[in-house]
Every structure is written in C-alpha cells, then in structure tokens.
Structure 1
Amino acid sequence: MSLVELIARADTRGLAGSGLACLDRCVPLLDGDDEVIRPLWATLADETGEGSDWARGLARVRDRLAGPDADGEDEAVLLARRMLAAAPAECSGAGIRAWADACSVASLRIHRLLDPAVDAATGADVRRAGGTEDGTERPSPLVAAELRRQVTVLEVLAGHGPAGLRRAVEVSTEGRRVLRAVVSRRARGRR
C-alpha cells in the first residue's frame, strides 16, 4: 500500500503518530534534544488515542523549540518550523489528517534538500502514491529511507494501535540519528 493510501486509511492515533514521527525526525534542524518530543508521544498512549494532554504538550514543545526569526534560515529549517507551527491543538478530526499529510510531504522535502547526493533544486518532489515502475526517477537513499520510515510508522500503528507506539518511536529515533549526522556533516562542510 502506498504512503498516500496509508495516510488516507489511518485512524486518529496513526495520523498523530505519523505527523509526530516526521516532526521528531526533523528535530535536529531545530536544535532540539532527543527527548523534546517524548511527552507528545506519551499523550498518544491513552486508550482513546486522541491525546487528552496533546495541546498542553504541544505548547511545551513549541516553547522549547522556539527559534530565531525566519530571516537567514534555510528551506529545510523553515519546513521543520512550519511542521511544528501547523500542528493542531486538537489531536482529532480533519486538522490532524491534514497535518499528517503535510508533515509527510515536508519531511520528504527536507530529506531531499539535505541529501548530499542530490541537487534538491532540480527535479520534482518525492512520489508518495506508488513505486517507480512508471519510469520516474528513483529517490536518493536518504529520501528512500525516510519514505520507508513513514510507511513503517503508519503500518505499525494501524496494526498494533497503542502497542505499536514503542516501535514507531524506535523508527523515529533511528531517523532522527541519521538526520542529526547529515546536519552535522553539512555544518562542518560550511565552515
């Protein structure tokens, strides 16, 4: 099943987890530590899956990741800031679905921008609706790995509900470490 189909079929917990995982993996761009998003993950563990403490946790995360004015920040950082800013205060309804979809697109774009093997200024955005059998360009390794992580998070949350949160966090943590290394190499290259 494609990423687009998985997002379309996801329940509230799956959508919130998907968007949160994308944001979590991009935390290195916002100079956040590895634990900053953890309280939001915890809100998804309740039985309703709607995260009753979501709004309060989201406000804390926004405070901790508040950065400078957008002047001078590159596109990848701006996309990550927009992901955080766009997170809905209510972890339900159409807002969470739109946010999860936007986070998916933004995270894939961020990975494309940061991939040292790709000129991100050229080419279209990553296809999320299907494979590359139609002859379109295959995604770079960094982008392909992010695509796999997004699919895995949605599948594990759909298949295991609250019990799948642990695996979703593990997948997100792995991706955050990869992106942190990419960001670090990129910073060293600019010096």
Structure 2
Amino acid sequence: MSLVDLIARADERGLAVSGLACLDRCVPLLGGDDEVLRPLWSSLADGGADGDAWGERLAKARAELDCADPSADTVPGLGPDPAPGSGSGAETETEAETEAAVSDEDRAAALARRMLATAPGDPCASTLRAWADACSAAALQIHRLLDVAADGDGPLVAAERRRQVAVLELLAGRGAGGLRPALEVSTEGRRVLRAVVSRRARGRS
C-alpha cells in the first residue's frame, strides 16, 4: 500500500504517531537532544493523542526548542505563495536574491520548526490527518534538501519514505503494540539525519 493510502486509512493514534515520528527524525535540525520528544511518545502510549498530557507535553517541547510561533518562520521559499500582483518586479528580484543566500540546512530547519509549531494541541481525527500529511511531505522535503543526489529521490529520501511506510504499517497492524517498534524506526532515522547534519557542518568548516 502506498504512503498516501496508509495516511488516508490511519486511525487517530496512527496519524499522531506518523506525524510525531516524522518530527522526531528531524530533531537534529532543531538543536534538540534525542529525548526531547520522548514525553510525547509516552502520552500516546498512556492514553492516546486526545489526552491532556499530549497538549501539556507539546507546549513543553515547543518551549524547549523555541518553536512556539509558526508565523515567525520567514525563510524564503517556505511560506505561502504571494497573492497575484501583490509585489513589484524589484521586490521579486530582492526576494530571489535573499532566497539564494539561504542554505539548504536553513530551509530544512525551518520545515522542522513548522512541523512542531503546527502540531495540534487538542488533537482530533480531522486536525491530526492534516498535520500528519503535512509532516510526511515536510520530512521528505527535508531529506531531499540534505540528500547527496542533485534531484529526485536520492538515498536519504528513499529511506525516509520507507520509514514512514513502516511506521504506518506497524500501527495499522499492531495498534498500540506498534508504538515501541515505530519509535525504534524513528530513532534509527534520527541517527542517520544527525550524522548527515554533522557531516555537512564539518564540510563547511
């Protein structure tokens, strides 16, 4: 089954885990340690995404990672498209020059911040589905930005797609019992991305 179909068929817990797993794998871009989102995983194990613990722990994670306001993210190329005719040619040229100066790492980090900032604090099936879908797309784009391949689905993107599918299949097949192996899948992906981020940082120094 395709990734799109798996997200479309996932229940509330599966959607919450899918979005959280995508975000968890991208924590290295936010400067957080490997345990910063663990309380959110615990809230899903304790009582599902509709418990009060989710909202409280989400607020704490946002505070720790300084991701409270999605509107604060103004990295060029990641915001909504401007309305037709809203800018002059000079403004468009300036924006293009600014975007060219922004690194792929900056764009990837901005996507990760947005994933956390837009997470529903009081989840229900409708909001979770939109968030999980957005997290899936953002995580794939993050890996595409950091991939060694010039275009298309390089090894990082392909591996991230496989992990997303694996997480959704685990939750669909095992329910709450799929949480621990889903966390293990996410942990593996986070280690890979942390290594990529470190290698790119060394290459710039």
TM-score band by shorter chain is: 0.7 to 0.9
Structure 1 position 11 matched with structure 2 position 25: no
**CA deviation after TM superposition for structure 1 residue 161, in Å:** 1.0
Deviation at 1:46, TM superposition (A): 3.0
Structure 2 portions without partners, runs of 5+: 76-101
- Quick one: distance in 1 between partners of 2:135 and 2:109? 13
Distance 1:152 1:17 in 2: 12
Tell me which protein shows more helix as a share of its residues: 2
Q: Gaps (5+ residues) in structure 1?
A: 124-136
User: Contact 2:58/2:121 (CA < 8 Å) preserved in 1?
Assistant: yes
Q: What displacement does 1:25 show?
A: 0.1
CA contact (8 A) 1:58 1:89 kept: yes
TM-score relative to the length of structure 1: 0.85
- Counterpart for residue 170 of structure 2: 156
Q: Which residue of 2 aligns with 1:88?
A: 120
Of residues 113, 120, 134, the one that matches 1:102 is 134
Change (3 A) 1:16 1:48: closer
Give the Cα–Cα distance (whole angstroms) in 2 for the partners of residues 161 and 30 of structure 1.
29
Match of 2:183 in 1: 169
Q: Per the alignment, in what secondary structure is the counterpart of residue 19 of structure 2?
A: helix
Rounded to whole Å, the distance in 1 between the matches of 2:48 and 2:115 is 24
Separation (CA, whole Å) in 1 of partners of 2:199 and 2:15: 31
- Partner secondary structure for residue 50 of structure 2: coil
RMSD over aligned Cα, in angstroms? 1.6
Q: How does 1:101-120 map to 2 (within 5 A)?
A: 101-116=133-148, 118-119=149-150
1:182 counterpart = 2:202: no
Q: How many residues align?
A: 172
Whichever residue aligns with residue 43 of structure 2, its letter is T
The 2-side partners of 1:190 and 1:98 are apart by 36
**CA 1:28–1:48 in structure 2 vs 1: closer, same or farther (change >3 Å)?**
closer
Q: 2:26–2:193: 8 Å Cα contact kept in structure 1?
A: yes
2:53 equivalent to 1:39: no
Q: What percentage of aligned pairs have identical amino acids?
A: 67
TM-score of the superposed pair, with normalisation by structure 2: 0.79
**Larger gyration radius, structure 1 or structure 2:** 2
- Give the drift of 1:163: 1.0
Paired position in structure 2 for 1:134: none
Once the two structures are TM-superposed, the CA of residue 47 in structure 1 deviates from its matched residue by 4.6
Specify the code of the residue in structure 1 equivalent to 2:37.
Answer: I
State the secondary structure of the residue aligned to 1:45: helix
Q: Distance in 1 between matches of 2:18 and 2:115?
A: 12
Q: Which whole-Å deviations, capped at 9, do the CAs of 1:86-132 have from their partners, x for residues lacking one?
A: 1001122211110000000000000000012x22xxx5xxxxxxxxx
Shift of 1:45: 1.1
